[in-house]
Amino acid sequence: MKILEVITLGEIGGAQAVLVDLVKGFSSGGFEVEIDVVCGTGEYIPRALAGWFTGGFIQTPFLVRNISLLNDIKAFMQLRQLCKEQKYDLIHFHSSKASWLGRLAAITAGIPRICVTIHGVSFRPGISPIARFLYRNIEKILLPLRTEYIFVSPVDMAAIQSLGVRTEYCKIIPNGRPVPDKPDEGLRSLLQIKGGSPLVCQIGRLSGQKNPLAFIRVAQKVLQEFSNDKIKPTFVMIGDGPLHDECEQALRDLGLTNDVLLMGPIENASQFFWDIDVAVLTSNYEACPLVVIEAMAAGTPVVASDVGGTGDIVKHGETGFLYTENNEDEAAQYIIRLLRDNSLREQMGKQSLKFYRKDFSVERMVKEYAGYFKLTSRRSLNANSG
């Protein structure tokens, strides 16, 4: 089978990580498959895939996130020409913009099968009403194209089905992630944290969706609880984004620059979950957050906002706690509870690891995609030919 994997940007991100894991899994899993990859600018995907597959890799400057008529036309023409030349059996899209242009290119080039993984609906809560209206109607306009939808959470499937997509064109395959590597130098050592201070960490882009300012306010509430303790928790934020300056200013205004450490972006940041006591996610919207899966894979309990598909991963009271969106007092109390109760934290960590192995391993994800795409193993082909 000949497959083309397409995503808008090559920068680090959740959808990009899934694409990389699938290409690696298909390439090393003994399947009879040829894979090409197309993405826009960004260093993560080309670096992550280096040496993993022998297919074609095209990085185009015309695939951009925002609507840009000239770039969009050029990207459409480039994708259409590639489809006509290579005659793929299946094209798999991973982001809204790439899928909008790519579906049109693929259908006009005669590609027999088109699949789109929805890593988060384009018209999700939290964006402007005008953008929601526009993106929702773009999806409705594209409905007549013969598209198969793969969803990472039931919440997103319900949103797309509300547009009129029939159930037979829908499939749920939750994300999976590899177990994070254990770092040569842990986070405590890297930050020179002494005295057994527990670590509370949020890994994610400093953007409105991830709501990093809420993490800072929650940290302040937790630190007030520990104000008379000899040992206080240390809060860490790993990531960068448009709210970086606002986060820095908030830390200065609240006098938290020594208690909440803003580290910036770190590739393979999930390795630090081995050294973290509580992982936190304050997002306003999530589909199937990889950072939660990575924390579970390291046996780290999670406190997360109960939004989108997060509740399908975090089992409240078992693997961590879910708090009501925007209820920062509730979030702080759950973190305090975990920091005060070592036994509970250890128990939830063990349950997280158990749940990860059962439902969220990268091996499970690759197997489900391979089955859905109807990939054939080389072993079975050799047996049949023999």
Position of tokens 């820095």? 248
Supply the pLDDT for residue 102. Answer: 93
Supply the pLDDT for residue 244. Answer: 97
**Which residues partner with 35 through β-bridges?**
3
The correct answer on CATH 3.30.300.350 for the domain covering 2-176+362-385 is: no
The correct answer on CATH 3.40.50.2000 for the domain covering 187-359 is: yes
Q: CA-CA distances (angstroms) from residue 61 to 42, 70, 123, 131?
A: 10, 12, 25, 23
Average pLDDT of the residues of the chain: 93
Of 56, 75, 53, which Cα lies nearest the Cα of 66?
Answer: 75
Of 246, 234, 175, 235, which Cα lies nearest the Cα of 207?
Answer: 246
**Where in the chain is CATH 3.40.50.2000?**
2-176+362-385, 187-359
Given a contact cutoff of 8 angstroms between Cβ atoms, the answer to whether 297 and 177 are in contact is: yes
Supply the pLDDT for residue 379. Answer: 64
For the chain, which ranges sit under pLDDT 70? Answer: 379-386
Given a contact cutoff of 8 angstroms between Cβ atoms, the answer to whether 265 and 234 are in contact is: no
Supply the pLDDT for residue 320. Answer: 98
Q: Give the pLDDT confidence of 121-168 residue by residue, as tens digits.
A: 888 777 788 888 888 888 888 887 778 999 999 999 999 999 989 899
Of 3, 57, 6, 58, which Cα lies nearest the Cα of 34?
Answer: 3
Supply the pLDDT for residue 221. Answer: 98
Whether the model clears a pTM of 0.85, i.e. scores above it, the answer is yes
Supply the pLDDT for residue 128. Answer: 81
* Amino acid, single-letter form, for residue 17: A
CB proximity list for 192: less than 8 A, separation 6 or greater: none
Position of tokens 């009501």? 324
Given a contact cutoff of 8 angstroms between Cβ atoms, the answer to whether 329 and 335 are in contact is: no
3-class SS letters over 315-376: CECCCEEEECCCCHHHHHHHHHHHHHCHHHHHHHHHHHHHHHHHHCEHHHHHHHHHHHHCCC
Q: Give the pLDDT confidence of 256-310 residue by residue, as tens digits.
A: 999 999 999 888 899 999 999 999 999 999 999 999 999 999 999 999 999 999 9
CA distance 156 to 288: 10
Q: At what angle do helices 14-28 and 362-373 cross, to 10 degrees?
A: 70
DSSP, collapsed to helix, strand or coil, labels residue 124 as coil
CA distance 163 to 146: 15
Element (H, E) at 226: none
